[in-house]
Structure 1
């Protein structure tokens, strides 16, 4: 049934676009299409399609939000190794969220205590006790 409707609509659009009958015929076709579009059964169908599409959009949005939250949490957990977490500290080291003090804290860059990809703490002591984990 959907294929038949699509074919009829395609044929109508093709006729209108390809028609050489002039403006009067175009207006007549347009009025006929508007009459059909504004009928109750067509508008019920439009409402059903709109509701189904909105449901799919809401589901997709929820999936994207969950994936984004998971990605951010994973990023924060991975990048936060050795640095205090936003949740109030590293439960493994028993810190309360305060950055570890270094003897050269005034000269230490903002990356102090952050583990580098090779596992060494950069610029000071890490909250995990220093060195590679």
Structure 2
């Protein structure tokens, strides 16, 4: 009975973590680590990759990350630049695919406006509180 439980646990662990571990053993996409032949296109790709967030690392750009997902994203950026797409079109495609979080330069939209409005409101609130306290002290 104990062996059966151990076997079931092993099968469960393999089924849960197997796909995640398999991703790291996949070979990198061709343009994950290889630059484009055209220096102008490579510069445009690098500029764009610096402004895109690695979804696995969450604190690095895809240009700096060694995560397999970042390599796949670098590959996509480079092949789309080489195909003649503009960086703005590629950014739009990545935002549609992965959400606003992928971009270090989010645009104001119906879903992101609170990110821009709340800090301004907090600063105004703090300023109002400070002005009120200074007026009470001076009176």
Question: Shorter-chain TM-score: what band?
Answer: 0.3 to 0.5
Length-normalised TM-score, structure 2: 0.31
Length-normalised TM-score, structure 1: 0.32
The structure richer in helix per residue is: 2
Higher relative contact order (CA 8 A, sep 6+): 2
Answer with 1 or 2: which has the greater Rg: 1
